[in-house]
Amino acid sequence: MRKKLGSIMVTTLFCFSILSILCLSCLDIIRSNNDIISVYEESLNLQYEVKGGLNLAHSKILEEVDKAIEIAIKDEYPEDKYKDYFLGSNKINFIKSIESLDCENIILDVINNKIYTEDNYIKLDITCSKSNKEIKKSVRCSFKISMNIEDINKNKVYKYNYKEI
Question: Can you give the pLDDT at residue 157?
Answer: 84
Side chain identity at 57, as an amino acid letter?
A: A
Q: What is the pTM of this model?
A: 0.79
Q: Which residues of the chain have pLDDT under 50?
A: 1
Asked if 162 contacts 141 with a C-beta cutoff of 8 angstroms, the reply is yes
- Quote the DSSP letter at residue 119: T
Q: Regarding beta strands 135-146 and 121-132, do their DSSP bridges make them parallel or antiparallel, or are they unpaired?
A: antiparallel
Question: Can you give the pLDDT at residue 70?
Answer: 87
Q: What is the largest CA-CA distance in the chain?
A: 114
Asked if 103 contacts 53 with a C-beta cutoff of 8 angstroms, the reply is yes
* Beta-ladder partners of 108: 128
What are the backbone angles phi and psi of residue 107, rounded to the nearest 5°? -105, 120
Question: Can you give the pLDDT at residue 4?
Answer: 66
Distances in Å between the Cα of 161 and the Cα atoms of 10, 62, 153, 158, 164 are 68, 18, 24, 10, 10
* Beta-ladder partners of 157: 145
Question: Can you give the pLDDT at residue 23?
Answer: 96
* Beta-ladder partners of 159: 143
Residue 64 C-beta-side C-alpha neighbours within 13 Å: 25
Interatomic CA distance for residues 87 and 143, integer angstroms: 15
Question: Can you give the pLDDT at residue 54?
Answer: 92
Side chain identity at 81, as an amino acid letter?
A: K
Question: Can you give the pLDDT at residue 49?
Answer: 92
Question: Can you give the pLDDT at residue 3?
Answer: 58
DSSP line for 49-82: HHHHHHHHHHHHHHHHHHHHHHHHHTSSSHHHHH
Question: Can you give the pLDDT at residue 159?
Answer: 85
